[in-house]
Each structure stands twice: as C-alpha cells, then as structure tokens.
Structure 1
Amino acid sequence: MAFKKQVSYGTILVNLETRQPIALLHDRKVETVSKWLLAHPEIKIITRDRSSSYVSAAAKGAHQAEQISDKWHLLDNLSAVIRSYLEGYKSDIRTVCENISANEHEKLKSTLLSQKIELPDTKYSALFKKVKELQKEGKLSQRTIAKELGINRDAVGRYFKLDAYPRNFSEPIDEKKYSSFIRKI
C-alpha cells in the first residue's frame, strides 16, 4: 500500500477467511514484517505479491507457513503466459478471424448471448435489471435513470452497452469494513 506515490510503502495484513484487516505496518522491510509474523505463529498460509522482501520476511518470520502468490499476481502471470503463447499464432488467428463470414459471426454472437446467465442476487444485479427495463421502455434518458435510481450516470451508460450482466462483475469494496484502518494511515 502506498502512503505517498513512489515514496514509501506500508504493509496491510488481512485475514483472508474473514476478509478483515488485522494489522498495518509502516513499511515493507523484511525486519518489520518478519517481526510481526514471529509474534503470530498461528499463521499457516501467507498470500503475498512477488516482492522479494515479503518472500524473505515470510521465510524468516513464519517458516511454518506455506507461501502462495495472491490471486491477482497468479492471474497476471497466467495472462502473460497466454499472451506470449498466442503471440506465436497471431497470423493464424488473424487469418481465421478474417475468414469468418458476417453471417457466422452473427450466429456465434447470438448463440453466446442466448446462453442464460444466472444473475447473482445482489443490489447491483437488481440495479442492472432495473436499468435494462428502463432502457427497453425507452422513455427516460440515461441521466434521468441515474437520478431516479441514485447511481452514477457512467454506470448507467455502461449498463446500456451491455446485453447481459457481466459474469466477472465485482462488487465495490465496503469501505466501512476498513474505515478504522484507513483513519490510522
């Protein structure tokens, strides 16, 4: 976590089972992190980024814990490998794409769009449904819909462009959970 962009970094420790922050450390030095870890021998798994200081701190302060990469870095590494692999087939992919007729493209698109996606039952999926209903009616502008539903006009614009609720849509972070830690910063 950056306290001031490109100047100094701190460490936030989060219990991934409860998704609650448990400590804020003023830096990411091996000594600081390993000292904290030594005081908490109950830690069995450490999820971390690729920083060598965290690797060393975990090895020094929590030798009993298994170290694993965090989800973001795993996905980042995976996407880099896939991109690199596909780079070798760029001309083949381009040829296939150019040879797909407009009719085949429309068939594929309609097949994908016709697949029923179960919406998660959240306030955001409900808002998405409401925006799509109002869009279908065609009586209200995006600005009016945003005001009526109490949401950002840009969100309404994004929903207008979508045919279905995004599968990878992530809910916003509940800042109330972290407010006591944010105040400490």
Structure 2
Amino acid sequence: MLEQRVVLAVEVRRFKCASAGCPRRTFAESIHALAGRHQRRTQSQARALHALGHALGGEAAARLANVLGLRTSADTVLRELRRAPERKRKPRPRVVGIDDWAIARGHQYGTIIVDLERREPIEVFAGREGTAVAAWMRAHPSIEIVARDRAGAYSEAVDIALPAATQVSDRWHLLCNLRDNVERLLCRLGPQLRQAAQKVEVGGVTLGRQWELSRNSLWSWQRLSDQRRASRVELYERVMALHAQGGTMKGIGQELSIDHRTVRNFITAGTFPERAPRARGPTPLDPYLSYIEERIAQGCRFPELIWQELKQRGLYEGTGVNPFLYWMSA
C-alpha cells in the first residue's frame, strides 16, 4: 500500500451571501478537519511530516518519508516544523553545553546549545560571535553550569552574561587536546626515543644457540626512513631560512618546487614536524605475543627457534620467518 499514490478528489459546496454589503460575495464550505486552507496535504500527513522532522531533521526525515510513501523534500519538512504551533513549555535549562559547528567549513560557522540534563539541543543559530551568545545567555538566567571548549569567545560571553555560572571544559575536548599534544610530543621526540630503545639491555641466560643482534646495525627500511627524515629536515631548514628573510608562503613554495600548504605546515609547526608512525595492523603473530615476550625475557635471541616452537603451537604454516624477524626488530 505504501508504494501506491493516492489522490483525494474532494468536492466542496460554495455559498452565496444574500447581504448586498458583504465584501465576500461567495464563500466555500470549510474542510479544516481534513486539510487546511491552500494545503496540498491532509492534516494527518502534515502531522506525520512534523513528527519525522522533529525526530530526524530535514534531510533524513525526507528520505524516510519517501520510503513510507509521503513524497516530500527536506525544505517542505522544515516548513512544516516552522508552521506547527509551539509545543508545551519545557523546564528551564540548568546545565548546558555550547560548541560551534561548520555550516561551510572554513567559511561559515554556527553555534549549537544543548541541555545536558535532558540531552537534547535547545538552540541553534548562525555565527559564533560572543555578542550573540551573550544575548542568548541573558535570556536564560536559570543556567548554572556551562560546558564548553577552550575557545575564548564563549568564555567571555558567559562571563559577561552570567558571571555567577560555573564554566567547565567538556570531556571530549579535554581528551582530544590531550591526544593531539601527546601525539605531537611523541613525533617530535621520535629520534630520541629510538636512541633510548637501542640502549635497553635485556639480561638473562640465552637459550639455544648464541645470537646477538648488533646495536649499531639497521634494517634497510630503517636506513631509508632516516634518509628521508634527513631530507625533510634539510627542506624544513631552507623553508624557515627563506621565511626569516621575508619570503611569502607562495613564493617559497615556487622557489623550492613544493606545495604552499607544505610551507604553511612547516612555518606554523614551531619546530620540525615529525611524521606520525603508521599504526601496526593485525598479524598472525598476535595470538602468540605473550609467549614471544616470555621467551625474549628468558634471553632467547634465536628467531628461528621461537618460530619453530610457534609452529608446534599451531602457527599457520604459511607464516614465514621474515615477518617474524621484522616484528622482533621493531
């Protein structure tokens, strides 16, 4: 039934006013219980679109409505929401969260305010200026706690409008800022961490044949990584030298034949930006990591021996020793 299009043909009576002074000579019979004036949908369909729009928003509600057989668009859903009478007054907000969101990233932003106790948005408006936020805060003096990011605009707006309100940093921004700073620190200290790892000595008796890895030897991929890093350091130093001489980002990029965004990243980094290491994906050795670490702690330095022991424990025969050697050197 939902795929079938239904058209209601309604005939209404038209009456003629007997009063000669009546400005409306004729008038039609009211069918407000079925549909409003000048409407192309019934009241029940309008209520259904209003419920979908309030629950899902414009685009998502329009997609679901089309599946249910209610042919409509996102703009029509939003018009139904604006046309509907105001709902029952809700309790005044006490704990709110405020953040910005991108209408067009890099060009236009908006502000969203959420009631954290009821967990639903209560206000969305264009712009993220402190004056608009302060005006909204003044209109809601019941607010006691404001959760926000570390941007200064919202902090100043709350201080001006509600000086007695408590401001806290929300959990998401705290964890995000912590993660970004730790990643930056680890990338910047990459060479020092590698040097420190090479100085670690594992004590204990070596089982099986004596086999010691030379601390000064590097794998080919490690030598290639160091060479590429040295080239990037040299390029970074040239970019910073030209920037100190007054060169523009575009001019430096053209002179060194690199993209101007790379120049911008170098200049804004403050120090040489280390590349983040690639995340290690799953390997067939993952179920046996605890056993491998136990054997290494016992002093075994013979990968082929541990590999044979893992095969006896059920390691897949197609797993060669080369990836195992690579794992032990990491």
Question: Normalising by the residue count of structure 1, what TM-score does the alignment of the two structures yield?
Answer: 0.48
- Higher alpha-carbon Rg: 2
Q: Larger % of helix: which?
A: 1
Question: Normalising by the residue count of structure 2, what TM-score does the alignment of the two structures yield?
Answer: 0.28
Kindly indicate whether structure 1 or structure 2 has the higher relative contact order, using CA contacts under 8 Å at least 6 residues apart.
1
